[in-house]
Chain A
Amino acid sequence: MEKMKRYDLHDSNSTDPSQCNGCGVCMLSCPVWNQRHTKMLTYCGRNRALIGGATDEDLAASARACILCGSCEPLCPMGIRTQQTTIALRRSLAARGILPKPDTRPGNQRSGTPGMPRILLPGKKLGEDAKLASSVLKLLGQRVGIHSDDGLDIALAVESGQAIDEARLEAFILPLMKATELIVADGLLFNLLRSLLPSSITLLPLGQALLANPKVRAGLNASDFYMIETRAYNANRRTCIALYDEVRRATGCFMNLDLQRVATPTGAASYQHREGLESSVSVEAQVRWLLEGRNAKRIVVEHLDDRAAFDQYTKIPVVHLAEVVKT
C-alpha cells in the first residue's frame, strides 16, 4: 500500500503568490467581492497588500472574510494556489491567537470501514439522513459502503486554520487507503484528501459520481436550477468542466456557473455560516443572485447545506441530486 502524503500547505509546485500581477480576474467570481466590493476582503486584495508591505496581522479581517469557495483559484493566470494560500494565512494567524478557534466538536469518529473497494464519505447532513443516504448508495452502484469516520472535525480544522492533530489525521486517512475509489460529499474534505492520498485511489466528488449514472442525468430537465458543490468543482475545474458542460447541454438546465464557468456558492457550506459566526457573505443575497433571471421550477443540489439555504430563502422545491431519479 502506498503511503499517505504529508499535509503541507507550502506546495513547491505552485506559483509563488508574490508573482501575482494584480489582474484582479480572481475577484470577478468571488462572492465576497460581489457582495462587499471591498478589494481588501478578497484574495487579490490580501495578496496585493502583502506585496505592498502589509503584514499577516493586517489581513486578519480579510482572512476571516473568505468562505473558501475556491472560485478564485481556477482563474489565476499565474497559477497561484489561492485557496491553499488563504488556509496557510489562517493557520499562521490562528497559531498566534489572532483568529478565534471555532467550537470544534469531534466528528463521527467511529472506527472501522465498510470493507468495500468504493467508499462514500457522506458528510454530516447526508450521514444523518438514512433514507437519502440509502438512495445515494443505490445510485452509486455496486460495492459501495459508507465510511463511519466522517472526518468533519478535520475539515473544520483546515477551514478555520487550526492545527490538525497528526495522529487524528492518520487515524482518519489510513483506513481509506484500502479503497480503490472514494466518493466525497464535502468539497473541502475532498480537496484535502486529494492532497493526501496517492493518485492510485480514485477520488470523486459526490455530484460527479451520481452524474455518472444515466438515470440521474435523465432526471434533470430544462427548468431545473442545478447547484454544483462549489469547493470540489472549483478546485478541479480543469477536469470536471467538460462533464458539467455536457450535462448542461444535454438537459438544458441552469447551473450555478458564472460567465467564467466558475461555480458560485450559496455560502451555506462555509464554517462561518455553519458555526453561526459573522460572515461577509449573506447566504440570502447569494441565493437571490443565483436564481435571478433563471425562472427555475426546481432546484437540484449536490450538497445538503445548499438545500437548507434554498429551502430557507425560496419557495421553489429543492431536491438532492439523488432524488431526481424517476421511479
Chain B
Amino acid sequence: MNNSLKHRTFDIKPTSPGVIPPCPVGPDALIGIPRQQTNPSRWEGEGWQSFVSDLAAKGIIIDEQKSACALYVTDAGGMAYGLPRGVLIARTTEMAAQVMAAAQRYSVPVTVRGGGLTTEGETVSFGGLQLDMRGMSRVIAIDKDNMTVRCEAGIYWHSLAEALRRQGLDYLSAPLNMTSSVGGTLGVGGIDINSPRLGCSADQALAIKIVTPMGEILECSETENTWWFNRVLLGYGQFGIITEATLRIRPFTPLTMHYFYYSDLLTAMEDLVMLCDEDAADYTGILTMLDRAVNLLVAFDSDEREKAFFKKWRPRIRGFGELGFAFHTGLYYALRPWKFREALYLLDRKRTLLPELQPSHHMRDGKIVDRTVVFSQAVWKFWGGRQMVIPDLATSREKFFEAILRGNEVCKKYFPHYTLYCVGIKLLGPRERYELSCIPPDAEGIAYGCEFEPMLEGKTYSRDHLQSFKNEIYDIGVDMGTSYYRFGGMMKGYIRRVFGDALVDKHLAMKRDVDPAMVLNRDVIF
C-alpha cells in the first residue's frame, strides 16, 4: 500500500455524534456544503443479547428466527433492503414501553413498522429490533355521540373502515391505500382526495397515546402533553411510537364521482386550485395518463353539494366530459398519425383502468361506495410492483404550477409513462407539527402536493436510474424551496438542504433530549 494512503487511513478517528471531520477521502468534497452526520457509525450488535435477555425476563420474547426477520427485508418501495436482528409483534402499549426502555438501556435500535408502505426504507431495519405494530389492531371504542373512534394504532385504515361501516360510520380522511396503518399515517401526515377540505389525516387526530423513546407512556392531545402531541404527529417516528389514537369520524355516505378530462396539465392544475380555493367539491384531485390526457376528479358526499357544483363551478372549469374528450383527442390523433402508439396507449388505459375505477359491485345508484377499496385495488394493480419510486413535491399555492410542470419534464426524461397525482391539503393554521414535515413552510390556507409515479410496467430499472430520477425531482424542491412527503430514509441526504441547518439542528437537539441513545427509527431523519 502506498505509504501516504496508509497514513491517511489511520488518521480517521472516531468523532462525537454531530461532528464531521474533513472527509479523509476527498477533503474538498464537502466544502461549502454544511452537513452534519448524526449517526456516524452503524450499530454492530452491541448490547443485543442483554436486550433480548432483559425483555425475556419480563415475558417479552423477541423472535430471532431467520424466517421471521425475512418478512421485513424491504418496504413497499422495494429499493432499500436490510434485516433486523429480531422481530417483535407489539400487543400492548406496555409491551412497547418496556421495549423502548430496554432499547435505551442497551442502545439497541428499534425500527417501528405499521403497513410498511414507505418507499425509501424508512421502515426497514438495518440491524436492531423490528417492532411490528400491527399486533395492536383493535377498535377500542366507537363514540357515536361525539363522533369519535378510539383504536389501536397498528390497525389498517381498511380494518377500521370495516368496523365503522357496521355502525353506518366512516373515518374522515386516510390515504387511498388500504394497507396503511393509522399510526404510520399520523406519523407522516396522510393525504386523501378530501384533504383540500379536511386537511391531512394527522389533523383528524384528537388524542394519541404514545410511548416515548425512553419508554414512558403518555396520553397526548391539544390540552394534555401538547408538546408531545405536536412532535409525534407528523414527526416521522422520531419522538415516539403511537399506540392508540382517537380520531374524528362521520356518517358514512356513498359519493358521486365525476371525471373531467384535459389535454393540458396547466389548465387542469389551475382548475384544481380554483376548486380547492373556493371549496367547490368534497373531493378533488388530478390523475394524469399522458400530458394530453389529464383527469380532474371531483366528488361529492351529498346531492346538494353536487348540484351547487354543477350550477356554480362546472361552467368555470375547462375540462371535457368523456365524450367531448374522446372526440377532441380522436381528432388530435387523426391529424397526427405518427403518434399512433400514444393513442393506442391511451385507448388501452381507458379500456383497462377506467372500469376498475367504477366496478358495478362497488356502485349504488350511480354512487361509489368503498372508494378506498376501489382506488387502492386500482393503485396496486396499475402502479404497484416489486419496485416503487414515488418522489413528490409539496408546495405553496404560488409555487405549485412551476414545481409540477418542472417535475413533469423530469418524468418524461426517465420513463415512457407515468402518472402525476396532485391534491390540495388544507392547513389548520400555524401548527408546530408542520415544522420539518411535508407541509411547506410558506404555504397558507391550502398546500398542494404532487406525487410523480412512474409506470414501471414490469421493467426492471437500475437503482441508479431510479435514484437519479428521485434526485432530479427533489432538486427542483431544493431550488424552489418546497417540501416533500418522502424525505426520510434513503432521501435523508436532502433534509438539511431542504429545511436548513437551523431547523434541523433544533429538531436534532430535541431528538437527543428525548432519545439520548438515538435508537428510535434512527435511519429515517437523523
Q: Would B156 and A48 count as touching, CB distance under 8 A? A: no
What are 16 A-B contacts with C-beta separation under 8 Å? A20-B386, A21-B386, A22-B74, A24-B115, A25-B178, A25-B377, A34-B159, A49-B70, A51-B73, A52-B69, A53-B70, A58-B66, A258-B162, A259-B158, A259-B161, A294-B166
Interface 1/0s, chain A 230-250, versus B by CB < 8 A?
A: 000000000001100100000
* B residues 96-155 touching A (CB-CB < 8 Å): 115-116, 132, 134-137, 154
Are A23 and B384 in contact, CB atoms less than 8 angstroms apart?
yes
A28 within 8 A of B: yes
> CB within 8 A of A259: which of B71, B132, B162?
B162
* A261 B361 Cβ-Cβ under 8 A: yes
Known contacts A37-B137, A259-B158, A293-B166; A21 and B179 CB within 8 A of each other: no
Per-residue CB contact flags for chain B residues 71-88 toward chain A (1 = under 8 Å, else 0) read 111101010000000000
- List of B residues within 8 angstroms of A51 by Cβ: 70, 73
**Given A23-B76, A48-B71, A53-B66, does the pair A293, B167 have CB atoms closer than 8 Å?**
yes
With an 8 A cutoff between CB atoms, is B397 at the interface?
A: no
Interface residues on B, range: 35 or more
- How far, in whole Å, are A294 and B167 apart by their CA atoms in the complex? 9
B132 cross-chain contacts in A, Cβ below 8 A: 39
Given A25-B376, A27-B179, A37-B154: A48 and B70 interface contact (C-beta under 8 Å): yes
A55 interface hit (Cβ, 8 Å): yes
Give min CB distance, A24 to chain B, whole Å.
Answer: 4
Q: Which residues of A contact B67 (CB under 8 A)?
A: 40, 49, 52-55, 58-59
Interface residues of A (CB under 8 A from B): 19-25, 27-28, 34, 37-40, 45, 48-49, 51-55, 58-59, 75, 77, 241-242, 245, 258-261, 292-294
Q: How far is the CA of A44 from the CA of B318 in the complex (A)?
A: 44
Within 8 Å CB of A293, what residues of B? 166-167
CA distance A146 to B380 in the complex (A): 44
B47-70 residues with Cβ-Cβ distance < 8 A to A are: 65-70
B380 in contact with A28 (CB, 8 Å): no
Say whether, besides A19-B386, A23-B380, A23-B384, A37 and B135 are in contact (CB < 8 Å): yes
Q: Which of B66, B72, B385 contacts A21 (CB 8 A)?
A: B385
Residue of A20, A25, A54, A58 ringed by the most chain B CB atoms within 10 A: A25
Among residues of A, the one whose C-beta sits closest to the C-beta of B382 is A77
The answer to whether the Cβ of B293 comes within 8 Å of any Cβ in the partner chain is no
- Cβ A259 vs Cβ B179 within 8 A: no
Measured CA separation A34–B137 after assembly (Å):
9
The residue from A54, A77, A242, A261 contacting B380, defined by CB atoms under 8 A apart:
A77
Within 8 A of A (CB), among B255-295: none
Q: Other CB < 8 Å A-B pairs besides A24-B116, A40-B71, A259-B370, 16 of them?
A: A19-B386, A20-B386, A21-B386, A28-B158, A28-B179, A37-B154, A39-B134, A51-B70, A52-B71, A53-B70, A54-B70, A58-B66, A77-B380, A259-B158, A261-B362, A294-B166
Q: Chain B residues with Cβ under 8 A from A48's Cβ?
A: 70-71, 73
Q: Is the CB of B380 within 8 A of A58?
A: no
CA distance A23 to B116 in the complex (A): 9
| Interface status of B468 (Cβ within 8 A of chain A) | no
B178 to chain A, nearest CB (A): 6
For B65, B158, B370, which residue has the most chain A Cβ atoms within 10 angstroms? B158
| In contact, B166 and A28 (Cβ under 8 angstroms) | no
Q: For residue B380, which residues in chain A have a CB less than 8 angstroms away from its CB?
A: 21, 23, 25, 77
